[in-house]
Structure 1
Amino acid sequence: MNLTAADLFMGVTDLPVFAIASLKGCWHLGFTGCQIYGLSTGVFGLVTIHTLAVIALDRYIVVVRTLNPRNRMPKSTSAIIIVIIWSFSIFWSALPLAGISTYRLEGLGTSCTFNYVNRHQTEVFYFLALISFNLFLPFLVIIFSYWGIYVSVRRIKRELSLLMDSQAYANRKRVQVQAEVRTAITSAIIVAIFIVSWVPYGVLAFYGLFGPPSRPVQPLVSMLPNILAKVSIVANPILYSIGHPNVRKRMTALMPSFLHRSSFRQVSQGTAQESINHNSISLHELSNRRSVSS
């Protein structure tokens, strides 16, 4: 929900202003409007990446450490984490307004972003700190989390292959892991889309600060990463709708034409669960019989 809120706010504040400026061919809100636009875009962008990092870490804890769907993060803990994410993002995005740096026009002059072309020592230091704490560190958390999930899933698959003679236990393991693995895969796809959207932007910013002064960034070239960066706020809702089973279930419930299909799926899931329970009981009884026989 926090990721959804960040994408929604960015879509409401960023895309309409960018679209109007593109139609007019120039920036139409003046210097103050540019600072406000840069601030809002910076806050929502940083909230998105930090939220993705927390989602990855949460999936790592659930999949690797517990493997128990009942061990969920308390709502109070989630609320505290969300407050920290927003406070941290607002802090870094507000520093340019405090005089450390500034927001400037980019590309064809139709949007504003962090100043990555001014090579003053203070602004270079701010940019490096911004990238380190708001890009590199979250990506390290994401890479560590999903690598741990991948290793854990491989280990679980090997365990299941060794337990094929105990079908009931294997089925129980599959039911326990299945939902969280699906969520992890969905989150990994979202992170991949985010990386594809923002890595060109980061590369462009580094070139603007440390590239040869005789070959500055061309306006049209700097416009392309700006457009790619906005794709993430469109891709995230689509990926969640397609990939998350709970979202699909709620969407199906809202559509009368799919009510019958939803009911059939629920009955099928119930039958499958009863079959698993029956197999578990049978295995338990079999163990008791073996104990009595021995």
Structure 2
Amino acid sequence: MNMTSPAEVMDVDMSDIWRGYPNHSVVDAVLPDMIPWVDPYWYQFPPMNPLWHGILGFFIGCLGLISWCGNGVVIFIFSCTKSLQNPSNILVINLAFSDLFMMVMMCPFMVINSYYETWVFGPLMCQVYAFSGSLFGCASIWTMVCIALDRYNVIVKGLSGEPLTTKRALTWIGLIWAHALVWTLLPMVGWNRYVPEGNMTACGTDYLTKNWFHKSYILIYSIFCYWIPLSVIIYSYSRIVQSVAAHEREMREQAKKMNVASLRSAHTDDVKSEYKLAKIALMTISLWFMAWTPYLVINFAGIFGTMTVTPLVSIWGSVFAKANAIYNPIVYGISHPKYRAALNENFPFLVCGRLVKEEVSESQSQINCDTNAEKS
């Protein structure tokens, strides 16, 4: 099949290209086998400026490279460093795995489609593309929930909480993927469907359908794959910060009763610890909103008709959601002292900024202790 970019076949001058093609639709470049899957809503919009296709292709390509490297390194470090091999970090590995394969499935297709300015892989791969994005996205979200619950169990419940075991961590992961698989298979068997999105270079759920049975899928899906996970994460990290703050207050009061001379130093360290924890929690929730909220707003706008969803708005919402695949290695990996030490040892050129000496020393000390314990 001879696939030619629309910019090469339409006889227009450069001013027309900059404004968009007059008297043409964004659907004009769609291949015949994809036409039945395109919602009539998109026929009202002119083709996007070719420059936007280039920007989108370049941007998603960069996201893919960063995600492949970042998540690949996270999987390698956490899998090969003995001091990091514990049940809690199995969840981190699962998160990195999900994010990695999301971009493996998303990036190449979108880069190529951006070059041709339309979907060129046929209806079947459109289904596979949308299914994969939804599957790995849902799995990542619920893995983040399990990580939050594990931290809540350790920090808030403390000794009264039941430690996470390898068996339980693997059970959680199995349930995560089963849950994600069920929700992402439903559009392929008749509850909603996967269709080309606004600029015709990506595919996703049909949020422009007039059928309320199909609209209900997006509404219920958002409850189980956005609102519930978001609520659990906010609650968990809020309780963690509250618990740490309460603990530090108790420690300061106890230090005062004991007339500890180093109270000021202890107080400063406590404040730093509390601030760091609050900052990580805030970063986690903020990145969640940055990644998924725009796409949710676009879906709801399509369902309820509250705003005009243009092809450009539609595709950028999808891209922001995919960008979450590069945030997680930073939040869950780089903020981990032992991970940073192992990263500095194996890939020192990837360590951004100065690695604090105390951090390396502490992590190396722990690694040495683990090694000595194994030898004995």
**TM class, shorter-chain normalised?**
0.7 to 0.9
Please say if residues 107 and 222 of structure 1, whose CA atoms lie closer than 8 Å, have aligned partners that are also in contact.
yes
Which amino acid counterpart does residue 114 of structure 2 have in structure 1? S
Q: How many residue pairs end up in the alignment?
A: 267
Which amino acid counterpart does residue 202 of structure 1 have in structure 2? L
Cross-structure match for 1:287: none
Please say if residues 6 and 48 of structure 1, whose CA atoms lie closer than 8 Å, have aligned partners that are also in contact.
yes
Please say if residues 126 and 196 of structure 2, whose CA atoms lie closer than 8 Å, have aligned partners that are also in contact.
yes
Cross-structure match for 2:291: 197
1:76 and 1:180 map into 2 onto residues whose CA distance is 31
2:330 and 2:208 map into 1 onto residues whose CA distance is 34
Aligned in 2, Cα 1:110/1:128: closer, same or farther, shift over 3 Å?
same
Aligned-pair identity (%): 33
Cross-structure match for 2:218: 127
2:303 to 200, 209, 213: 209
1:115-264 matches, cutoff 5 A: 115-165=206-256, 166=258, 167=260, 186=280, 188-211=282-305, 216-255=308-347
- Residue by residue, what CA displacement relative to the aligned partner does 1:156-181 show, whole Å, maximum 9, x if unpaired? 121122122445999999999x9999
Which consecutive residues of structure 1, in runs of 5 or more, have no partner in the other structure?
274-294
Please say if residues 60 and 146 of structure 1, whose CA atoms lie closer than 8 Å, have aligned partners that are also in contact.
yes
Cross-structure match for 1:20: 112
Matched, 1:36 2:131: no
Cross-structure match for 1:79: 170
Please say if residues 241 and 277 of structure 2, whose CA atoms lie closer than 8 Å, have aligned partners that are also in contact.
no
1:58 and 1:181 map into 2 onto residues whose CA distance is 20
TM-score, scaled to structure 1: 0.79
2:348 and 2:143 map into 1 onto residues whose CA distance is 34
Question: The residue matched to 1:118 in structure 2 has which SS?
Answer: coil
Which consecutive residues of structure 2, in runs of 5 or more, have no partner in the other structure?
1-92, 367-376
Which amino acid counterpart does residue 103 of structure 2 have in structure 1? G
1:85 and 1:197 map into 2 onto residues whose CA distance is 20
TM-score, scaled to structure 2: 0.63
Cross-structure match for 2:103: 11
Question: The residue matched to 2:103 in structure 1 has which SS?
Answer: helix
Say what the alpha-carbon RMSD is for the aligned residues: 3.5
- Report the CA distance between 1:72 and its aligned residue: 3.5
1:209 and 1:175 map into 2 onto residues whose CA distance is 50
User: Bigger shift: 147-156 or 77-86?
Assistant: 147-156
Question: The residue matched to 2:255 in structure 1 has which SS?
Answer: coil
2:149 to 37, 40, 57: 57
Aligned in 2, Cα 1:51/1:241: closer, same or farther, shift over 3 Å?
closer
User: Bigger shift: 24-33 or 78-87?
Assistant: 24-33
Ranked by relative contact order (alpha carbons within 8 Å, sequence separation 6 or more), the top structure is 1
1:245 and 1:264 map into 2 onto residues whose CA distance is 11
- Residue by residue, what CA displacement relative to the aligned partner does 1:188-225 show, whole Å, maximum 9, x if unpaired? 5234212211101101100100015xx64211121221
Which amino acid counterpart does residue 237 of structure 2 have in structure 1? Y
